[in-house]
Amino acid sequence: MATECRSGTGFSFQRKLTVDFDGGSITSEAGLTLVREFDERLGLTSSAAKLVNDARDRRYIDHPMRSLLRQRIYQIVAGYEDCEDAKYLRSEPTMQSVAGTAGDALASQPTLSRLENSADWDSIRLLESEGTEWFCRHGSTEGEIILDMDSTEDRTHGQQQLSFFNAHYDSYMYHPLLIFEGNSGVLLSSRLRPGNAAAFRQAVSMLRPLTRRLQNRFPGREIGLRADGAFGTPEIMDYAEYAGLGYAVGFGRNKKLHEIVMPLCEKLEMQWECNPGKTLRHYTSFPYQAKRWSRSRRVVAKIERTPEGMNLRFLVTNRKGRAKEIFDWYEQRGQAENFIKELKNDLAADRLSCSRYKANAFRLQLYATAYNLLVLFRRHVLAGTELARATVATIRLRLLKVGARVKRTARRLWFHIATGWPGRPVFEQALARIGDIGPPR
């Protein structure tokens, strides 16, 4: 007999409206089946699971490592960034079908928390560069490979290991280092660092294996490096030159540089007085050697006169081309800021709330894996659709967050989606694209 929820003779605003709980098995995450099928065809999370050392006693394992990682990663993809969300999702029909076995309860929150806290440093270091492997196999673009390197703030709360005050960000934080591929948006490598780590710390140790892998996989392809002034250290530039990277790195202003460009500044000021209100720009380059540099390098300057005043910017580079071309190429690194926003805002990668530093380092890799999974999904599956340039948050809202009634028969698992759902054309296009990839690997 149906259980009905009523108030008097019905709801006051609609007396014939009746609520019951006989709708059957309902999901709000039906679109995750697309991501799961894409993942299965390319073997992405399967390869990541092989990198994690599983020291558990096999006699007492209910959930294999691959299932645990998939559950955690798909939760992040769907917008459930906390382990605590497993309490409500372990019986969710879509999550069961994509991360485990339909009808079988998934791992609980304590199980996922033990996973994060038991990860060893060898597994974490392997996962840090898994994005490079995914790029080499599935994410390569034409032309130059661009390494956009940047650090970001990850605020901490309470007594978290290696949380320190960082004066630049004016907060207690961790200081992750991220390296994206500038054309595709793939997060090639990421690493958690203590909050007091300088922006350039460990940059060379991350660049070295990454560059070697890319050069072995794509011999003859040019590789460029872009980074802001916080990375303008002799060690980074020396390594880039040794490895054959064409770099452009921000460089801070100083008295000597001001003296060199002062004649151009005065010339631009005179032009401004003759034509006030119009933004004027001039580009130039010259050799320069700082005290700590092993040799002289090319510095490129951008001199800009706006209504707000004179603005000077400098880059250090070994790239060929006119000064304006160097700056135009460098300023495209602004796209990396959008990649960071997707990682932190859309996927909540700054939710590193474990008390143990190592657990947070592992958790960062879970967020990075979820991010790369969606980036490759967008590139391979959504190209040519209305979501081809959509953000991760928009893809989730428009394509993944779709309600369905789930029905299981002896032979099939049915997801009955609403007939009038507006996302149906894109869903069908995506499914056809995934089918073109070929059988699961």
The residue count of the chain comes to 441
Q: What is the pLDDT of residue 4?
A: 53
What pLDDT, on the 0 to 100 scale, is given for residue 215?
96
- Per-residue confidence (pLDDT) for residue 5, from 0 to 100: 54
CA–CA gap between residue 326 and residue 76 (Å, rounded): 38
Distance, in Å, from the CA atom of 361 to the CA atom of 1, rounded to the nearest integer, reads 52
Tell me how far apart the alpha carbons of residues 27 and 416 are, in angstroms, rounded to a whole number.
10
pLDDT in tens, 197-241: 999 999 999 999 999 999 999 998 999 999 999 999 999 999 999
Contacts of 306-314 spanning 24+ positions with Cβ under 8 A: 306/279, 307/277, 307/279, 310/265, 310/268, 310/269, 312/253, 312/257, 312/258, 312/261, 312/265, 313/250, 314/250, 314/251, 314/252, 314/253, 314/257
Which pLDDT value is given to residue 273? Answer: 83
Summarised one tens digit per residue, pLDDT across range 162-205 is 999 999 999 999 999 999 999 999 999 999 999 999 999 999 99
Return the pLDDT at 124.
97
Give the Å distances, CA to CA, from 98 to 37, 52, 53, 83, 125.
8, 20, 22, 17, 27
Instruction: Note whether 391 and 346 are within 8 A (CB).
Output: yes
Residue 213: other Cβ atoms inside 10 A = 17
Q: What pLDDT is stored for residue 1 in this prediction?
A: 47
Q: What is the pLDDT of residue 7?
A: 44
**CA distances from residue 39 to 57, 138, 272 in whole angstroms, order as listed:** 28, 12, 57
The tokens describing 20, both together, are 């019951």
pLDDT of amino acid 441: 66
What's the CA gap between 321 and 259, in Å, rounded? 24
For the chain, list residues with pLDDT below 70: 1-10, 441
Structure pTM?
0.93
The residues that bridge with 165 in the sheet, in sequence order, are 172
Q: Say what the pLDDT of residue 270 is.
A: 87
Please, are residues 125 and 320 in contact by the beta-carbon 8 Å criterion?
A: no
- By DSSP bridging, strand 164-166 and strand 171-174 are antiparallel
Q: Nearest to residue 136, comparing CAs of 59, 82, 189, 95?
A: 189
